[in-house]
Structure 1
Amino acid sequence: MGVIGRRERKKLATRTALREAALRLALRDGVEHVTVEQIATEADIALRTFFNYFSSKEEAVVAAAAAGAEALIAEFRARPAGESVLRALRQAVLAVLDHDDTISRDYLRAIQLIRRTPSLRPHELAVLAAQEKALAGAITERLSPAPAGIYPDLCAATALTALRVVLSRWLEHAGGPDETPPMTILRAEFDQAIAALAAGLDRPGTADPADPDREAGSGQ
């Protein structure tokens, strides 16, 4: 990646200021009580400038989750080339969530907020779709020769779904809306998820004892 120019740095700083202000106000007052005008004022940015970056207050709030997703993809791309896809993804997830920086903290706060705010869910879907596409591309780059067919898309979608399940289960251990559960719980849950994906999800079913087709000699 080349050096970012001054104009792009300024645009990034403006977007970041709006994103952080939107999340901060939404966490304090609730999304339904926050206005676009308040977000612009909080970020010390002109109201008309807001709409150059976001179409709504909900999109601005969810942008914190998008920034966390982008950080995850960047960490995945930076993992050593010899690591397997799932190993690299595990390390990338833990690296992002272990970081004590604004992006990591806001990512978790946004996830918690989205869980309890139905109006944010449609906007979250757009973030998830973009994340899946980006991860599928990174997976394709990691493997040589590049895999054909469904694998990159399926692997990205499955792995990120597993991450969402793990994060949801992990956040259930929180004692309050602003509390972050211990990382040891997250590590254990995510390791279980990665192990399940690596082993394959297909398992034999349990036949109904009353089902005549379960007989070994049924010929079916």
Structure 2
Amino acid sequence: MSTAPMPGLRERKKQAARRSLAEAALRLALERGPDQLRVEDIAHEVGVSPRTFNNYFSSKEEAVCSFIVDQQERVREALLARPAHEPLWDAVITAAVERQVAEGTPRREDVWRIREMMHHAGLFGEMLRAHVTVERVLATAIAERAGDGANPLHARMLAGIVQSAARIAFHTWLNSDTAEGYLSAFTELLREAQAGMPALTAVAAHTAVADRSAAAS
């Protein structure tokens, strides 16, 4: 089992401040809509100055979407805490599902606001950037969990599968008429991916060999 060193007090305070700003940004965006959200409002909600806000985020859109990356950081921690003898893909699925259960699903009454936010150009672009960061964070954790000899391409593929499953499940839930369904859809997609994992792993390994051969020629 691999564990990351505990951050110091100063770093934990910075993480807490960033998290408070992110939570305030998302809450206010849901309440008012993204166009009515101002950096000054977010900072005031937490009791800091706009300058302090700018120490953590480059824009209000980044603050609103930062929960995506923060959630994946917690998946990373859960993955690295899984038993060392557990097969890699089982550990990835268990960590991802456990964290999703802990995070919970957004309130159903917020759905129309979330739909509106998904069509906001600034937020949509920031969400795409957040998803790229998320995949990189999880791929690094998977490679670390796999240990020596880990295939970086394989790690990126697994991370991409988890992220795609989360995104598809979320959009399916967002466009449904029921409050349930996100977690079950997420788990089902991951399990279906697991069933096809031997073939996917073979493809990744073949691609890696081809890339190395091309680089050597």
TM over 0.5: yes
Q: Is residue 2:85 matched to residue 1:82?
A: yes
The alignment's C-alpha RMSD in Å is 2.7
User: Mapping of 1:25-64 within 5 angstroms?
Assistant: 25-64=28-67
2:165 maps to what in 1?
162
Deviation at 1:173, TM superposition (A): 3.1
Deviation at 1:39, TM superposition (A): 0.8
2:192 maps to what in 1?
196
Gaps of 5+ in 1: 176-180, 203-220
Q: Deviations over 1:105-128 (max 9, x none)?
A: 598879946535342121112221
2:14 is aligned, of 4, 11, 28, to 11
1:69 maps to what in 2?
72
Instruction: Give the distance between the partners of 2:159 and 2:44, measured in 1 at CA.
Output: 38
1:139 is aligned, of 142, 149, 163, to 142
Gaps of 5+ in 2: 200-217
Q: 1:40 to 1:66 in 2, by over 3 A?
A: same
Q: 1:170 to 1:141 in 2, by over 3 A?
A: same
Instruction: Give the distance between the partners of 1:26 and 1:106, measured in 2 at CA.
Output: 17
Greater helix content: 2
Q: Deviations over 1:8-63 (max 9, x none)?
A: 22222221221111111101000110111111111110111111111111011111
Instruction: Give the distance between the partners of 1:96 and 1:161, measured in 2 at CA.
Output: 16
Q: Aligned residues: percent identity? A: 32
Instruction: Give the distance between the partners of 1:130 and 1:107, measured in 2 at CA.
Output: 22
Deviation at 1:157, TM superposition (A): 1.3
Conserved in 1, the CA contact under 8 Å of 2:72 and 2:138?
no
Q: Is residue 2:165 matched to residue 1:151?
A: no
Q: Deviations over 1:135-175 (max 9, x none)?
A: 21222222255233621112211231122112221333355
Is the partner of 1:52 in helix, strand or coil? Answer: helix
Instruction: Give the distance between the partners of 2:120 and 2:95, measured in 1 at CA.
Output: 27
Instruction: Give the distance between the partners of 1:190 and 1:118, measured in 2 at CA.
Output: 26
Is the partner of 2:84 in helix, strand or coil? Answer: coil
Q: Is residue 2:98 matched to residue 1:95?
A: yes
* 1:121 partner amino acid: F
Instruction: Give the distance between the partners of 1:46 and 1:192, measured in 2 at CA.
Output: 44
Instruction: Give the distance between the partners of 2:61 and 2:98, measured in 1 at CA.
Output: 27
Q: 1:152 to 1:31 in 2, by over 3 A?
A: same
Give the number of equivalent residue pairs. 191
1:129 is aligned, of 123, 127, 132, to 132
Name the TM-score, length of structure 2 as normaliser. 0.76
Of structures 1 and 2, the one scoring higher in RCO (CA 8 A, sep 6+) is 2
Q: 1:76 to 1:172 in 2, by over 3 A?
A: farther
Conserved in 2, the CA contact under 8 Å of 1:77 and 1:138?
yes
